[in-house]
Copies of this chain bind each other. A is one copy, B any other.
């Protein structure tokens, strides 16, 4: 039917992203209700909690209770986020209920790294070596590289493609030093600088050098280009995307300065399925979950298809 991928995998990040940024407080059982609803949609990977400092991110003070509370569904991988060894240890304590994977976390903008993690490229590489040792000590598999700010940065401006290539090369070197095989690369448009053209430019350069890598895109939708960027990714053969149900994490109407959600899961699923790209997800069930998310946070979320509806009801004519 087309030269797009036959099938894509979607990593649902709505619960983790959304409950982190919402002013709340949101009851643990409501978080669990959303995760359970998402488990029934056909999504195969759902990020359900963030093991971060509860003083800094009060929305995830109940991470343990959420992970203990949801109904695990066979065939679904439940993932979690952590930022340091303390967080990883909290996740490992619940490893029977989670699917833990280590990542070599890089950033294409040194000013962003400096500002957010108080370290430059060289120091970050050292930290990554230490993290791999930590993953290994805990028996957590490591198979991928992630590069933040791969398409531009509010502190560094436009990011040259060569810088992204340098970071991915560095990721491979770090992996090689630990005899790890790199199979996946996640490129994040952390501050919503990407356009369809820059998606193609960066992906073209990366694919030219590492044709065997499976690439994932993490696209923020702050400027409305999320789905156009995802489509450009599909045209480049990308078959793995992060997304957020209802656009959770973004909230254009509630005055969250700079709150920029991921591309909306049900909008992405709708676009893919309408183009004949299988997602394995039931979009109507996903819309039900999106409405639940909106009800839980108590304000409108950015999703479009949850309002516009799918085309299924018109095709009966």
Contacts and interface: CB of A to CB of B under 8 A. Distances in A.
Interface of A: 1-2, 4, 111, 152-158, 192-193, 195-198, 221-225, 227-228, 230-232, 252-253, 260, 264, 267, 270-271, 274-276, 300, 303-305, 307-311, 314-315, 317
A271 B195 contact: yes
A317 B156 contact: yes
Contacts of A300: 252-253
Given A192-B308, A311-B152, A314-B157, A197 B275 contact: yes
Contact of A270 (B154, B157, B223, B307): B223
Contact of A317 (B155, B197, B198, B264): B155
Decide if the interface of chain A is mainly helix, strand, loop or mixed: loop
A316 to B, nearest CB: 8
Contacts of A1: 197
Given A300-B253, A317-B156, A317-B157, A305 B224 contact: yes
Nearest to A194: B274
Copies in the complex: 2
Nearest to A307: B252
A2 B204 CA distance: 13
A308 B193 CA distance: 11
A196 B162 CA distance: 30
B304 A223 contact: yes
Given A157-B315, A231-B196, A232-B231, A308 B264 contact: no
List the 4 closest A-B pairs by CB distance, nearest first.
A224-B304, A222-B308, A197-B275, A224-B267
A6 to B, nearest CB: 13
Contacts of A270: 223-225
A217 to B, nearest CB: 14
Given A252-B307, A304-B222, A274 B195 contact: yes
Nearest to A260: B308
A297 to B, nearest CB: 14
Contact of A195 (B152, B275, B303, B308): B275
19 contacts: A2-B197, A111-B317, A154-B314, A157-B314, A195-B274, A195-B275, A196-B231, A197-B275, A222-B304, A222-B307, A223-B270, A223-B304, A224-B227, A224-B304, A225-B271, A228-B228, A228-B231, A252-B300, A253-B300
Contacts of A271: 195-196, 224-225, 228
Given A4-B197, A196-B231, A264 B224 contact: yes
A47 to B, nearest CB: 22
A221 B19 CA distance: 28
Contact of A196 (B252, B267, B275, B310): B275
Given A111-B317, A152-B311, A197-B275, 5 more contacts: A1-B197, A196-B231, A222-B304, A223-B304, A228-B231
Contacts of A267: 223-225
